[in-house]
């Protein structure tokens, strides 16, 4: 298993508070099918402020080309998207993630 490093970049319109942050690697290469979660890391009790940068590490066996990163700043912790949550709204290739903390790639999230 290898580690991938990234930094979630919180939207400037974020609501301050405490949230659960979920980051996943997903295979969405098959058209007209739901993505398949390959790996996930969960950070609980994260203090959120506008413009925050939240470092994370995710472990995965293999990350082939075409895999994407998805992030969800979940204020209620229920895994459901809700108004005020932060979410990655663009396709972010897993290749942006680094192989060390010094090379961590950015994963922007936007307020829903």
Quote the pLDDT of residue 35. 82
The residue behind tokens 């950070």 is 43
Quote the pLDDT of residue 34. 79
Whether residue 11 contacts residue 86, with contact meaning beta carbons closer than 8 Å, is answered with: yes
Q: Tell me the pairing of strands 53-60 and 36-48.
A: unpaired
Dihedral in degrees, nearest 10, Cα atoms 80, 45, 27, 37: -70
Local structure of residue 98 (DSSP, 8 states): B
Give the tokens for residue 69: 């990163």
Q: Does domain 2-111 have CATH number 2.60.40?
A: yes
- List the one residue out of 82, 88, 90, 34 whose CA is nearest residue 56: 88
Quote the pLDDT of residue 59. 96
Q: What's the whole-model pTM score? A: 0.92
pLDDT > 90: percent of the chain: 83
Each residue of 62-105: pLDDT tens digit? 788 889 999 999 999 999 999 999 999 999 999 999 999 999 99
């Amino acid at each position: 298993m290898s580690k991938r490093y990234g930094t979630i970049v919180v939207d400037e319109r974020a609501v301050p508070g405490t949230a659960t942050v979920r980051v996943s690697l997903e295979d969405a290469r098959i058209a007209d099918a739901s993505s398949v979660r390959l790996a996930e890391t969960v950070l609980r009790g994260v203090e959120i402020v506008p413009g925050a940068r939240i470092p994370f590490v995710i472990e995965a066996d293999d990350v082939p080309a075409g895999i994407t990163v998805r992030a969800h700043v979940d204020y209620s912790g229920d895994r459901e998207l809700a108004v005020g949550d932060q979410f990655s709204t663009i396709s972010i290739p897993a290749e942006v993630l680094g192989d060390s903390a010094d090379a961590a790639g950015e994963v922007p999230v936007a307020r829903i």
